């Protein structure tokens, strides 16, 4: 029994299988890795992370300070 249906002037075929081809990857390629570059990248990422934390906490403290001053002026 065919699994093709006609709906809204369009023919739809049920269970249509389309396979995507996966590109071949060359796994056995040798690469030279410099450990100093990797360590420097980790140090830079850690430094940027601490900067982001300090930036975030400073905004939180300034926001709380402004909220506190606003509340004192309204009373």
pLDDT for 8-67, tens place per residue? 555 555 555 556 666 666 667 777 889 999 999 999 999 999 999 999 999 999 999 999
All structural domains of the chain with their residue ranges: 35-75
List alpha helices for the chain, DSSP H: 35-74
Answer whether 5's CB lies under 8 Å from 14's CB. yes
DSSP 23: P
Q: How confident is the model at residue 70 (pLDDT cuts 50, 70, 90)?
A: very high
State pTM to two decimals.
Answer: 0.50
For tokens 């023919």, name the residue: 11
d(CA 55, CA 52) in angstroms, rounded, equals 5
């Amino acid at each position: 029994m065919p699994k093709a249906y006609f709906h809204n002037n369009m023919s739809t075929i049920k269970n249509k299988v389309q396979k995507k081809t996966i590109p071949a990857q060359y796994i056995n390629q040798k690469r030279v890795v410099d450990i100093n570059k990797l360590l420097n990248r980790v140090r830079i990422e850690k430094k940027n992370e601490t900067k982001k934390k300090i930036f975030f906490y400073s905004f939180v403290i300034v926001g709380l300070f402004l909220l506190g001053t606003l509340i004192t002026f309204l009373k």
